[in-house]
Amino acid sequence: MKIGFQMFPLAMAKPGYDNTLLLIEEALRRGFEAYHFIPEDVSMNTQGRLFTRARLMAFDGENIVQQDDMVLDLHDLDVLFFRQDPPFDMA
């Protein structure tokens, strides 16, 4: 299963506070592929398909680590989480 996480940059995440890190960790423990990307990296091609510059995640037993950037077709994901901070509409 391929899972995408659109959220703020991981460098801003607080271990033990941000639940998204727990979701990513559990997905990786279950053998799923987990991808992280930020909203600014999403684009649409001329055929109307959505793509993003994403990073495949890995778990080294203690920490979540990011692999190299890649282009990901969002249509290839099985699940997509939108984890914005703050998690409510400020408008």
**Mind listing the pLDDT tens digit for each residue in 41-62?**
999 999 999 999 999 999 888 8
pLDDT at 27 over 70: yes
Look up residue 40 and give its amino acid.
E
pLDDT band at 37 (very low <50, low <70, confident <90, very high): very high
In a domain, 30, yes or no: yes
In a domain, 39, yes or no: yes
For the segment 78-89, the average pLDDT, to the nearest whole number, is 79
In a domain, 7, yes or no: yes
43 C-beta neighbours (distance < 10 Å), count: 11
Q: What is the CATH number of the domain that holds 33?
A: 3.40.50.20
**Residue numbers of the domain that contains 72:** 2-83
Look up residue 13 and give its amino acid.
A
In a domain, 88, yes or no: no
Total domain count for the chain?
1
Tokens of 23: 């979701």
In a domain, 91, yes or no: no
Beta-strand runs (E) in 14-49: 33-37, 42-44
Q: What are phi and psi of 59, to 5 degrees?
A: -125, 120
In a domain, 59, yes or no: yes
